[in-house]
Structure 1
Amino acid sequence: MPSFISTIKSNPRLKKIALLFLIPANDHKPRLWVRWFLNPFRHTRGKQTIIRRKTRMDVFPFNEFNLGSRSIIEDFATINNGVGDVNIGEHTIIGLGNVIIGPITIGNNVMFAQNIVASGLNHGFEDADVSPSQQKVNCKLITIADDVWIGANSVITAGVTIGRHSVIGAGSIVTKDIPEFCVAVGNPARIIKKYNPVTKNWDKLT
């Protein structure tokens, strides 16, 4: 299957034909037959996972979507792997109203609160004679390590890595990597605390 998909992706004509079969015209979600008969055999879901009924699953068979055991995607969330793989680990919560656009890797025991946007996708804008909506997209992998907690209404931008057991305060805009065992807040997010393994305290940074 991967080599077949790679062949289609590398041939613009085949890719265009394949997309017509997979996606309705002027739409961004897969056709019903893709959701019912193709995706279940292409993507993996671990044991006791929950995807709520009102979640929008814009997932396609030409990229990966994997959901680890005992993870949950809450109502009104949107998951989109159209431009890159979406891999979510075990015991992870994707909260109400989240928007997750690949490429993105989310680890185990991660908490996404409400109304978070994590998008590995950006539209080009450099050509002033062409609308950004018509310019090439540019994608960079987002990596969220294990045990991360992201507060409500935060935005994680393309290419960012958030290290293990770090916390992102509510309403933060994360535009740069955050190391492990840190607390970051603000727009753009900056580190305000870091865990000290010697004293076992979360030290404030001056």
Structure 2
Amino acid sequence: MFGNIKKDYINHNKEFLNVGFFAMVVYRFGRWRYGIKNKFIRKPFSLIYKLLYFNIKSRGIELPCEVILGENFQIHHNGGIVVSGYTQFGNNCIVRNGVTIGTARIDKIEAPRIGDNVNIGTGAKILGGIVIGNNVDIGANAVVLKDIPNDCIAVGIPARIIKKDK
């Protein structure tokens, strides 16, 4: 847990009071508490996690500890960020303010699987059981409802997929 927190600190420009960094600390703590096998010992830590999570949520970042995060996950310009607990991220992903990532329908619990090196722009919405490939840029305010292959850019509402020039 502490090794990951040190990396998160570096990824968030070594700003201890950065809300994105604090959200990552709470996320790491929430994941860590699952490793406590004795439920009587785990319960107080779960209470602490829920209080911390509520604090972060009130600051505009909803990142439950059930989300699977790869290495070097970054939150830039926090506020209005909502991530479903069923979402999976690869390594080196960046999420900005106003982003929603989650299920597309209430009756079908499917959330996106996001690859490595994905840059998600301000206000983007990524919904449903879709797969976002590696090395993808998602533009500001894009609404992504279908899979995006590797090395692409997604822009618009609904998102158009454009192959990156190499």
One fold, TM greater than 0.5? yes
1:88 correspondence with 2:69: yes
CA RMSD of aligned residues (A): 2.9
- Secondary structure in 2 matching 1:176: coil
Tell me the amino acid that sits aligned with residue 79 of structure 1: L
Gaps of 5+ in 2: 10-20, 35-55
Give the unaligned 5+ runs of structure 1. 1-43, 63-72, 125-137, 201-206
| 1:110 is aligned to 2:93 | yes
CA shift for structure 1 position 120 = 3.2
Corresponding position of 1:101: 84
1:174 and 1:56 map into 2 onto residues whose CA distance is 28
Q: CA deviation at 1:121?
A: 6.3
Pick the structure with more helix per residue: 2
Matches within 5 A, 1:47-196: 47-48=5-6, 49-50=8-9, 51-52=21-22, 76-80=60-64, 85-95=66-76, 96-97=78-79, 98-120=81-103, 122-124=105-107, 138-191=108-161, 193-196=162-165
Higher strand share: 1
Q: Which amino acid aligns with 1:92?
A: F
Q: Is the 8 A contact 2:111 2:127 kept in 1?
A: no
In the other structure, the counterpart of 1:12 is: none
Larger Rg: 1
Instruction: Find the aligned partners of 1:190 and 1:117 in 2 and give their Cα distance.
Output: 18
Instruction: Name the count of aligned residue pairs.
Output: 125
In the superposition, the TM-score normalised over structure 2's length comes to 0.64
In the alignment, the residues of structure 2 paired with residue 158 and residue 80 of structure 1 have an alpha-carbon distance, to the nearest angstrom, of 18
Higher-RCO chain (CA-CA 8 Å, sequence separation at least 6): 2
- Whether contact under 8 Å (1:56, 1:78) holds in the other structure is no
Q: Distance in 1 between matches of 2:113 and 2:73?
A: 14
| Alpha-carbon distance in structure 1 between the residues aligned to 2:142 and 2:131 | 15
Q: TM-score, normalised by structure 1?
A: 0.52
Secondary structure at the aligned position of 1:80 is classed as coil
Deviation string for 1:10-37 (max 9, x for gaps)? xxxxxxxxxxxxxxxxxxxxxxxxxxxx
Instruction: Supply the distance in 1 between the matched residues of 2:104 and 2:149 (Cα, whole angstroms).
Output: 22
CA contact (8 A) 1:105 1:142 kept: yes
For residues 85 and 147 of structure 2, the distance between their equivalents in structure 1, rounded to whole angstroms, comes to: 17
CA contact (8 A) 1:178 1:184 kept: yes
Secondary structure of the equivalent of 1:183?
A: strand
